[in-house]
Structure 1
Amino acid sequence: MKKIGIFSLLLFSTAFGVFAQTEGPMPMKPEMTEIWDPEVSVVTPGATPLDAPSDAIVLFDGVDLGREWTNSNGGKPEWKVEDGCVTVEKGTGIIKTKRVFEDFQLHIEWRSPSEVIGTSQGRGNSGIFLQERYEVQVLDNFDNRTYRNGQAGSIYKQQAPLVNACKAPGEWQTYDIIYTAPRFNEDGTYFTQPTVTVLHNGVLVQNNTKMRGPTEYIGIPEYSIKKHGPGCIMLQDHGNPVSFRNIWIREL
């Protein structure tokens, strides 16, 4: 009886093992990979792709520049506001937002003068500085050659645009910029670099581009890296009467 009992136990164990291997893991069901909470926030889009969505901060509405912008000293901006846009007044210096930002989606429309004066960098030149440091170049590059890492849609002096998507002088153009601010190591070096994606007139010209450092006219960007927090959006006075309108931003 003892031998029969041992044999029966071995037979049962073997059968159970075979059964377990045959059955395998529990089959997946559709609901096992469905995530319900937290619910996705609702944002109401603008009436057109150019209009600000419901969660955007309108930085310039075509009328009141002083509500969101200052000059370089924190005073009243001196650029000219007329016909729903703001135009660089030569010699008055940059303007910058009163608010500071890190990660964001920025929409801005710009127009170079219809009267063509100058060539290369002397034609419709301005710039959009992200966190006051990293410049997306504004320039009239319609039938106007310049150095490739300094033309419209470039990360100035760092990364050329993928293509030249410029419209003719005097026509309104759009930039849609998605920006991720850098994070830093304790020693002030980048832990993650600042990255930017830019669509120029709906055409991708910068695709998740990693910036080497702050914009420099002369010198190497890496040499001027300094640990920093949130910063302003800054528009450049480069001596050309470039106009801007419909500026809004979404913090990410």
Structure 2
Amino acid sequence: MYKKIVFAATALLCSSLSFAQDKPADTEVWTPVPKVVTPGKASTEMPSDAIVLFDGKNLDQWASVNDPQAPANWIVGKGVFTVNKKAGNIQTKKSFTDYQLHIEWQVPANITGEGQGRGNSGLFLASTGSGDDGYELQILDSYNNPTYVNGQAGSIYKQTPPLVNACRKPGEWQTYDVTWTAPRFNEDGTVKTPARVTVLQNGVLIQNDTELQGPTQYIGKAAYRKQHGACPIKLQAHGDKSEPLSFRNIWIREL
């Protein structure tokens, strides 16, 4: 019995030390680098059965993540809205399960910084809690801007790099067209089927029915840790020092 207790204590200590030594760089992947593909012109017209999430006029379909009863205080003007870092993340008032989503985003032409500090935001395909909880499709200026490949634009952040780099230059509008299949859980909370996603960036396939390992983790490996159903969609107000991103023409079709 004494040996069993010592063994268990040693294992627990080793596990704790391993966790304490984890750092963000442990889950950064730098190679192979996705090849660059120059995108063509993509269609942006909305289908007849779509739900409009932003029509260029207001953010009535969105709320603050910090307080879902409060408005989304990002900046609206000239048919677009721009990140307001002081207001924090925003999310849709409505929750979704499976869907097709179209969203357009723009990195400012005068963007500064490098790596993850250059036009950083995120599209959380399902927001499972406050802060940055959820499943993140990375938004970043990845036009001639090297970073770890599972953190560049179009990656499932810290999980799966994009198939190719289809980014346009800063100042030009980009599109994501997303087909999202939410995870399903058994009654005991275990995963029945994991989340899956297909993404086109600027009309180019960058995620092909990709299986997600769980919600986004900045430090450590992703894993499914809690059961959930339909969730809001979230946009991130990242804390980097570069100029904030803008968004327009957002619509969704429930599947």
Total equivalences in the alignment: 203
Match of 1:8 in 2: none
Task: Return the alpha-carbon distance in structure 2 between the equivalents of residues 189 and 245 of structure 1.
Answer: 37
Q: Give the structure 1 partner of residue 26 of structure 2.
A: none
CA–CA distance in structure 2, aligned partners of residues 198 and 138 of structure 1: 12
- Structure 1: gaps spanning 5 or more residues: 1-47
* Aligned counterparts of 1:91 and 1:113: Cα–Cα separation in 2: 18
Q: d(CA) in 2 for partners of 1:97 and 1:61?
A: 14
CA drift of 1:221 comes to 1.1
Classify the secondary structure of the residue corresponding to 2:229.
coil
Instruction: Give per-residue Cα distances to partners, 1:16-74, cap 9 Å, x unaligned.
Output: xxxxxxxxxxxxxxxxxxxxxxxxxxxxxxxx931211110000001111x20011102
Q: How far apart are residue 199 of structure 1 and its match? A: 0.2
Cα deviation code 1:179-215 (max 9, x no counterpart): 0011112221211100000000000000000000001
2:245 paired with 1:242: yes
TM-score by length of 1: 0.79
What is the aligned counterpart of 2:58 among 56, 59, 64?
Answer: 64
What is the SS of the residue equivalent to 1:167? Answer: coil
CA-based RMSD of the aligned residues comes to 1.1
Structure 1 residue 218, shift from structure 2 partner: 1.0
Tell me the secondary structure at the aligned position of residue 116 of structure 2: helix
Identify unmatched segments of 5+ residues in structure 2. Answer: 1-41, 128-133
1:143: which partner in 2? 144
Amino acid at match of 2:58: D
Q: Which amino acid aligns with 2:226?
A: K
Does residue 55 of the first structure (1) align with residue 49 of the second (2)?
yes
Name the residue aligned to 2:17: none
Per-residue deviation at 1:235?
0.2
The farther-off stretch of 231-240 and 208-217 is: 231-240
1:109 aligns with one of 104, 107, 119: 104
1:207-244 CA-to-partner distances (Å, cap 9, x unmatched) read: 0000000011112211x521000000100000351110
The yes-or-no answer on 1:83 pairing with 2:78 is yes
2:204 corresponds to which residue? 203
Please say if 1:226 is aligned against 2:221.
no
| 1:134-176 Cα deviation digits (max 9, x unpaired) | 1000000000000000000000000000000000001000000
Aligned-partner Cα distance in 2 for 1:107–1:210: 20
Pairing 1:94–2:98 present: no
Deviations 1:77-133 (A, max 9, x none): 111001111100122100100000000000000001111210000001000001111
Secondary structure, counterpart of 2:124 in structure 1: strand
Which secondary structure state, in structure 1, belongs to the residue aligned with residue 249 of structure 2? strand
CA distance in 1 between counterparts of 2:43 and 2:111 reads: 30
1:233 alignment partner AA: I
Tell me which stretches of 4 or more aligned residues in structure 1 moved more than 2 Å. none
In 2, Cα distance between equivalents of 1:188 and 1:130: 20
Query: Whole-Å Cα distance in 2 between the matches of residues 172 and 131 of structure 1?
Result: 24
